[in-house]
Amino acid sequence: MQNLTAHLNMIRAMKMKPNFSELARIYGIDRRTVKKYYEGYEGKPKNRNKPSKLDKYYDEIKSKLAIKGVTVKGVYEYLKSKD
């Protein structure tokens, strides 16, 4: 996609409208994908800021794991049976 975006930027700098079908043939992708990148699409983000389902149990998990001899699997089963 790096070459495609460079190609599109070059066409945009010349103030020309690209032939999406021709670019799609050159790069081996769908013409709608080429148009999407021409209109400013930057791709999916590398990471998401999505909270974990276990965040609300963080303090409880931490306190259970501090007990000597308790395993992660044991804490998991405890929380699973609790809900």
Report how far residue 28's alpha carbon sits from residue 4's, in angstroms, rounded to the nearest whole number. 11
- Whether 83 has a pLDDT exceeding 80, the answer reads no
Distance CA 68, CA 83 (A): 24
pLDDT over 80 (residue 78): yes
Q: For the segment 18-70, what is each residue's pLDDT rounded down to a tens digit?
A: 999 999 999 999 999 999 999 988 888 888 888 988 899 999 999 999 999 99
What is the band of 2 on the pLDDT scale with cuts at 50, 70, 90? confident
Domains of the chain by residue range: 1-39, 51-82
Instruction: Note the pLDDT of residue 11.
Output: 93
**Confidence (pLDDT) at 48:** 84
Residue spans of alpha helices (H) in the chain: 2-13, 20-27, 31-38, 58-65, 72-82
Q: What is the pTM of this model?
A: 0.55
